[in-house]
Structure 1
Amino acid sequence: MSIDLLSDEELLSQLKQGKRNAFNQIYERYYAVLYAHAYRKLQNKEEVRDILQNLFVYIWNNKENLNVNSSLSAYLYTSVRNRILNFIRDTKVRAQYTTSLQEFAEKGENLVENQLQEKELIRIVEQEIAQLPPQMRLIFEMSRNLEMSHQEIADELNISPLTVRTQVRNALRILRVKLGTYTFTIFF
């Protein structure tokens, strides 16, 4: 009897015995209909070809242990459907991962850039404060860094609160000129 006249069950039996002609006949009998079925779902020729190739490679590699509980056609359609669902799931997971990674990279890049800019600004501000006259710098740092009131600074340094106020105001004026209004507004 010609191989192309064999039933699916007979082809499956011969396939399990390792007969290549049986495999080729199953391939020829079902490839086109499986392709059309898969293409309606995915509409991507490359992916459909990959799915079918993987299915037929799997069938050949597992021919001895192939467990077909229903008809061969039902087994093949179910296998294609499951592979399509896996492909869609994997594609969504990859897309979500890619999006997540891209967002992280963008945020991370901005975060690092912002941190570097902030450190640079702080360095510049500290440098400008260090260039203030010694008494003015001391009063300014007590006011801003130690958060002492003008009266507390005056008591600590044995000077008048009016002198403290004048020194802080002069320090702020000098820093505003040296740092520019924008940077000055950020820090003071």
Structure 2
Amino acid sequence: MTTSRYTDHTLLLRMAAGEEEAFNQLFNKYWDKVYSTALVLTKSNQIAEDIAQEVFLRMWQNRHKTDIIDNLEGFLFITARNLIYNKLSRLKLEVAYTNYIQHHFTLSGPDTETQAEFRQLKTILEEGMRQLPPQQQKAFRLSRENGLNHEEISLQMGVSRATVKDYIVRAIAFLRKYLQDHALEVFLLILSNFK
């Protein structure tokens, strides 16, 4: 066992016993590596930071099991990779669902009441979009309303594709939280459809 692994193992044992200082040392030692790995895989500072925080949060929450970890760096990498996969899968599902809803309402020709509810829901979403930073808002609208891909948006906005992707990912994350914060309004709107 190398000195680093020996030190990691000792710190893991101390952390398993509930010692916060041991956790802090491991956090400080591995934060940059976990964050950098997440950044390379996601191309988003915000998602990379969220993933890194979640990795260390889970490590602390499961500290009573960490004494069996033989290779901490490998464990952290695998945990980050799995969290990234789950996060990106969720984002793809959300985008697909949003596209489905937009397509469904366009094709089915909803009745007047449903159209009014859809307009109210769209108003709530518009309020959230107006709170986005201008560049994020522009990238999101070009993508979702105009149907442009990341390459086309990057050319139109004069920024890299990675920046466009970051803008859109951040916009989706913000709007998801905005809708969660306004869940009661959305819930009542949906509930009003079931009389």
Letter in 2 for 1:19: E
Q: Contact 1:34 / 1:77 at 8 angstroms: preserved in 2?
A: yes
Indicate whether 1:53 and 2:53 are aligned. yes
Do 1:51 and 1:84's aligned partners in 2 also have CA atoms closer than 8 Å?
yes
Deviation of 1:6 after TM superposition, in Å, equals 6.6
Contact 2:16–2:67, Cα closer than 8 Å, also in 1? no
Helix, strand or coil: the match of 2:111? helix
The alpha-carbon distance between structure 1 residues 5 and 91, as it changes in their structure 2 partners (threshold 3 A), is closer
Whether contact under 8 Å (1:68, 1:75) holds in the other structure is no
Equivalence for 1:72 = 72
In structure 1, list runs of 5 or more residues that go unmatched: 114-188
* 1:27 alignment counterpart: 27
The residue aligned with 1:97 is: 97
Q: Deviations over 1:85-129 (max 9, x none)?
A: 111111111111111111112223x2537xxxxxxxxxxxxxxxx
Contact 1:38–1:80, Cα closer than 8 Å, also in 2? yes
Distance change >3 Å, CA 67–CA 20, structure 1 → 2: closer
**CA separation of 1:13 and 1:22: change in aligned 2, threshold 3 A:** same
How far did residue 68 of structure 1 move?
A: 4.5
> Does residue 136 of structure 2 align to residue 112 of structure 1?
no
How many residue pairs get matched? 109
Question: Hey, what's the Cα distance between the residues in 1 that align with 2:96 and 2:28?
Answer: 38
- Percent identity, aligned pairs only? 25
Higher relative contact order (CA 8 A, sep 6+): 2
What SS does the aligned partner of 1:66 have? helix
Gaps spanning 5+ residues in structure 2: where? 113-195
Tell me the TM-score normalized by structure 2. 0.51
Name the counterpart of 1:126.
Answer: none
Q: CA deviation at 1:56?
A: 1.1
